[in-house]
Structures are given as C-alpha cells and as structure tokens.
C-alpha cells in the first residue's frame, strides 16, 4: 500500500537502534536478578503462574515465547522446590493446571518487590514530567509495535492539565489531516478554541475531559457555557486506535451528565457531515439536527451541521 520512503528507513533505524539499546539494558536487568534464587526464566514463569492461577503449560510457553521442552523442565524445578503445584486439569487430562503454592506466592511477591525497586532506581533521576513522558512513550511504542484490541478499562477520563491543550491541538490537526485531508487552517481553529477555553474557563459550569491510556492522550471532549441555560460541546475527537471500545459513548455520557448536573436546559454542538461516527453517536444520545450549512474550510468543501439536545426532555 504505502511505498517505501525515507521516513520508512528512518523508523527502521529507530527501531533497530532502540533494540540494541534495550538488549544491552535488559542484559543489565537480567544479571541483577541473580541476587535471587531464581533464574530469569524461572522468574518469568513464576510471574505468569502467580498472575494467572490455573493456567496451563502450553499457555505459559506461548505467552513467554518459550520452548515447551524448556518450560517442562523449568516447571519440574519449581514443583520440586514446592513453589508450584501441577495437577491434571479436570476438563482435559492432557493438560496440567498450574497454581502457585503459598511459598510460590511469597517468592513471587519478593521478586516483584525487588523488580519494582530496581526499576524505581532506574527512574530516580527523572522528574515528574520525564516520568509521564516515559510512560506515555513506552505505551505508544508498544501499541504501535503490536496493534491489539484495547479494552475500555485501560482508558481513564481526567480533567485537563497544563500542556493538554497543545497536545490535543496537535492530535486533532494530524488526525483530520490524515483522515480527511484538512489543512493547517483547522489546526489554527483548534488552537484558538483551546486558547479561548483556557482564558475564559469557568470551573463551576465548564469542563474538559481528556481520555488517556497509560499516559498517552487518546481523545477529548469539552463542555463550555454558551449562555446561562445553553451548553456547547466542543473539540470532540478520539484517536483511531482508541475506537471500538465504546469510549465515544462514555465520553458523551460523562459530558451530558455534567451538563445536566449544572442545570443547563440545552446542549448544542457543531460538526461536519463527513464525521459519520460522531454523528451516529450524537443521534443515539438524542441530539437532533437543527441546521446544515455548506462552507469551504480547512481546504475542503464541507457541510457543517448544528445539533441540539433538549436536556429537560431526558
């Protein structure tokens, strides 16, 4: 689909560079583990079993990428030391149900604590900003290297903080440029709305929700005061990788509950007809289309839509 470009080779170089870096780093982490009575493999296996009691050998082997034979012997050692119990599974006698014994659980807890302390030492020199950035970077890298269906539980909604407006501006500008070909004019508009929000923010009647997954921003929704009785929803977006987990619904629900709570009689919003998913969301929440209007913005011919929801009717 996408032809190989220089951007490609830059990313390849980045991944390879990081792999070398991390291999070296993991080598260090690995060595330290030997202060405990466990080898790295034993520790990893114990981790899996402690966190997923009743799992089978095959499952552990697949998840850790271990050879079944190697795992079989590793398990034997753990069983011999009284850390793991291996029982025939009731449903399928080929399988062995694996559980950690109380001693195994204690050993795992000690390992877990040691590992946490080790990482904490590694992060000691970072300030809060650096730590946030690191967490977000690692989460993003992981997500990009291994796309997986993300569960709704991983996402949190939180109020805005310093730096969020800029991040949202960048994210929305890139998202709509990628998906609809909108130009920089849109980024300017978002920046203006965001700036206005900061300047005129009334915490008593307005709110911004940032959707976040492991420190990485995944979306946003704003509720601002249009008049005493009318609230307006603004800057709604959700990254493509965060879609399909019911987040749009959750954001909108949260926002409408707030609006209702603050005594607004009506909620309005402006969007464009090409944003099909968003429109469906508004419809389902009870919004009705008030007016449509063709306009030329962001380098495209668009149709703007004004939607409205009567809160009293709910």
Q: Which of residues 53-72 bind DNA (CB under 7 A)?
A: 56-59, 61, 66-72
Site for DNA in 270-289 (CB under 7 A): none
Question: Rounded CA gap, 221 and 209, in Å?
Answer: 5
Q: 103 contacts which partner out of DNA, a second copy, none, CB within 5 to 8 A by kind? A: none
109 binds a second copy (CB under 8 A): no
Binding window for a second copy (CB under 8 A); candidates: 15-23, 99-107, 249-257, 303-311: 15-23
The distance of closest approach from Cβ of residue 255 to a second copy in the complex, given in angstroms and rounded to an integer, is: 21
Q: 41 contacts which partner out of DNA, a second copy, none, CB within 5 to 8 A by kind? A: DNA
First-to-final CA distance of the chain? 47
Backbone angles phi, psi at 180, to 5 degrees: -130, 0
Give 154's DSSP letter: G
Question: Rounded CA gap, 189 and 221, in Å?
Answer: 16
User: According to CB under 7 A, which one of 1, 7, 93, 124 is a site residue for DNA?
Assistant: 93
Task: Kindly state the tokens that stand for 211.
Answer: 């959707």
Question: Rounded CA gap, 109 and 68, in Å?
Answer: 25
Who's near 79: CB < 8 A, 6+ residues apart? 85, 86
Nearest by Cα to 238 from 144, 150, 168:
168
Site for DNA in 2-31 (CB under 7 A): 27, 30-31
Binding window for DNA (CB under 7 A); candidates: 51-59, 122-130, 242-250, 281-289: 51-59
User: According to CB under 8 A, which one of 90, 145, 204, 294 is a site residue for a second copy?
Assistant: 145
Question: Rounded CA gap, 16 and 12, in Å?
Answer: 6
Site for a second copy in 41-60 (CB under 8 A): 44
88: Cα separation from own chain's centroid: 38
The distance of closest approach from Cβ of residue 174 to a second copy in the complex, given in angstroms and rounded to an integer, is: 4
Q: Which residues bind DNA (CB under 7 A)?
A: 27, 30-31, 34, 39-42, 56-59, 61, 66-76, 86, 92-96
């Amino acid at each position: 689909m996408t032809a190989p470009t220089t951007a490609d080779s830059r990313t390849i170089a980045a991944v390879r560079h990081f792999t070398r870096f991390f291999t070296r780093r993991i080598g260090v982490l690995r060595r330290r583990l030997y202060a405990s009575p466990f080898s790295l493999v034993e520790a990893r296996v114990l981790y899996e079993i402690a966190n997923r009691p009743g799992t089978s050998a095959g499952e552990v082997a697949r998840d850790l990428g271990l050879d079944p034979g190697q795992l079989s012997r590793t398990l034997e050692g753990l069983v011999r030391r009284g850390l793991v119990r291996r029982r025939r599974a009731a449903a399928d006698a080929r399988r062995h149900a694996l559980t950690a014994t109380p001693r195994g659980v204690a050993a795992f807890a000690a390992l877990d604590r040691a590992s946490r302390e080790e990482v904490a030492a590694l992060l000691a020199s970072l300030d809060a900003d650096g730590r946030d950035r690191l967490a977000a970077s690692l989460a993003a890298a992981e997500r990009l290297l291994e796309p997986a269906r993300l569960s709704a539980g991983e996402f949190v909604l939180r109020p805005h903080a310093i730096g969020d407006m800029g991040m949202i501006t960048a994210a929305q500008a890139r998202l709509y440029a990628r998906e609809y070909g909108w130009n920089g004019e849109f980024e300017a508009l978002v920046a203006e709305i965001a700036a206005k929000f900061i300047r005129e923010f009334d915490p008593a009647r307005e709110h911004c929700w940032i959707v976040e997954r492991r420190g990485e921003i995944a979306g946003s929704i704003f509720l601002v005061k249009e008049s005493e009785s009318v609230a307006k929803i603004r800057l709604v977006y959700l990254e493509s990788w965060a879609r399909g987990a019911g987040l749009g619904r959750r954001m909108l629900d949260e926002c409408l509950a707030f609006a209702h709570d603050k005594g607004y009689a009506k909620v309005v919003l402006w969007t464009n007809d090409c944003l099909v998913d968003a429109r469906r969301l508004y419809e389902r929440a009870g919004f009705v289309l008030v007016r449509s209007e063709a306009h030329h913005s962001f380098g495209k011919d668009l149709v703007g839509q004004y939607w409205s929801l009567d809160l009293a009717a709910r």
